[in-house]
Amino acid sequence: MKHQLHICWLYPDLMSTYGDRGNIIVLQKRCEWRGIGVHIDCHGIDSPVSQITRADVLFMGGAQDRQQDMVSKDIAGKKTEEIRHKIEKGTPGLFICGAYQFLGKYYKAADGTKI
């Protein structure tokens, strides 16, 4: 395989309520069919920002408010800045359900809490 694609799967243990592993499997398979190697970094709580920095593709699934609140505490600051920077520079990302809300300034939960 000539090429190696780095996919950063953001918070797979918390943000994967809706079978989001299937999206990763599809990305892997489509790359395999084209002779492209795939390396998946599973980025969790306390993972280094460097996993985001080296990503060629960003992926984040959906979750309930409780899990989103947990992720919001870890992703705030440098991680969010790096994700925004990469997207603004052209790195593709697939953000499912509530995941895209982390790209904004805040998300207002059903109880009115800002996440």
Summarize pLDDT for 40-93 with one digit per residue, the tens: 999 999 999 999 999 999 999 999 888 988 999 999 889 999 999 999 999 999
115 is a domain residue = no
93 is a domain residue = yes
22 is a domain residue = yes
83 is a domain residue = yes
pLDDT in tens, 73-82: 999 889 999 9
CATH of the domain at 60: 3.40.50
16 is a domain residue = yes
Whether the predicted model's global pTM rises above the 0.85 cut? yes
pLDDT at 2: 65
Range of the domain at 83: 3-103
Domain count, the chain: 1
Residues near 47 by beta carbon (within 8 Å), at least 6 away in sequence? 41
110 is a domain residue = no
Q: Rounded distance, CA 20 to CA 39, Å?
A: 17
39 is a domain residue = yes
Q: Does residue 63 contact residue 15 with C-beta atoms inside 8 Å?
A: yes
